[in-house]
Every structure is written in structure tokens, then in C-alpha cells.
Amino acid sequence: MSATNTQRMFLLISGIVLVLAIVFSVVQVGQAMQRRASMERKQDTLTRLEEMLEQRAAWQSALRPFEQLDTDRPPELARLLREQYPGLRADVQRVDQVAAWPGWQAERYRLSIDSLPGDTVGTVLHMLETQRPPWTLIEGQVRASSQQADQVRLTLIVEGVRRDR
């Protein structure tokens, strides 16, 4: 083979190797970009899972005192009011019930008292909140009673949690 043919053959092989190297590099860059996008998605998922884990730990920590209670539910509202305030007429209606956490339900009640001494509203709220598990005030309305000047009409939406058994 002559020197010119050897040079041409060498240039042809070098050109083919260069084209293959460029194609290989382009393919590798494309795959690297795909891997990077995949790793970013996985990192986002990991961040969300860590946030969910922290939230779950906070929920479990908030639930722990309720699980240690002797009773599974707050006392019945009508009975509790009768015991604390004999002769008080209260209308208690369940509004709704939803699952709060596995094994626990949150119940909401509307409590209406037509005639209550105005200075006992705080006492009623304190009595509800100090039950174990407590009744929590969600919404409340106090209006002047049409029956007596020192009386109020109290309407409360309270929520209590109870354990499923």
C-alpha cells in the first residue's frame, strides 16, 4: 500500500472515530440530563416524605395525651350541663362526625342555651375545655336574652374526640 492510501485510510478511520465519539458524547449528555431530572424528582419526593414524617410525628405527639386518658370520649354535653347547672335547659344537637386519626373520631355538637346568666359564660367555656378529653370551642355566639336583662342566649359549636372501640 502506498503512503497516500495509508494516509487516506488513517484519515477515514480517524473521521469515523471522531463522528462516533461525537454521537456517543451527545447520547451521554442526553442520558445525564434525564438522570439529573430523575434525581431532582426523587429529591423532591424525599423532601415531601420527610415533611410528612415530621407532620405525622407531631400528630402522634398531640394524640399521645389522649391515648393515655382513662376515658375514650368527653362526657355527654347534656348530662355535663345538668350536673354543673341544675335546672338549665340546653339543646344539644350533633352536627357531624369525621375520622380524625386512625381509631379516633371528631364529633361536633351545637349547644344552645336560651337563658344563661351572663357572668357564667366564661365558666361554661372553662368547664368544657377542662374535661379530659376536652371539648374544644369551634364557634360561639352570645346574644342578649329576650327573657331577662342579666341573661344571655349562648350558641356554641364544640368539638370533642373519641376513641373507636
Query: Could you give the percent of the chain with pLDDT greater than 90?
Result: 41
**Residue 18: exposed, middle, or buried by beta-carbon count in 10 A (0-12, 13-18, 19+)?**
exposed
Query: Mean of the pLDDT values across residues 125-144?
Result: 86
pLDDT of 1 reads: 66
DSSP code for 96: E
Interval 66-125: pLDDT, tens: 777 777 778 888 888 888 888 888 889 999 988 877 778 889 999 998 888 888 888 888
138 within 8 A of 146, measured Cβ to Cβ: no
pLDDT of 83 reads: 87
pLDDT at 58 over 80: yes
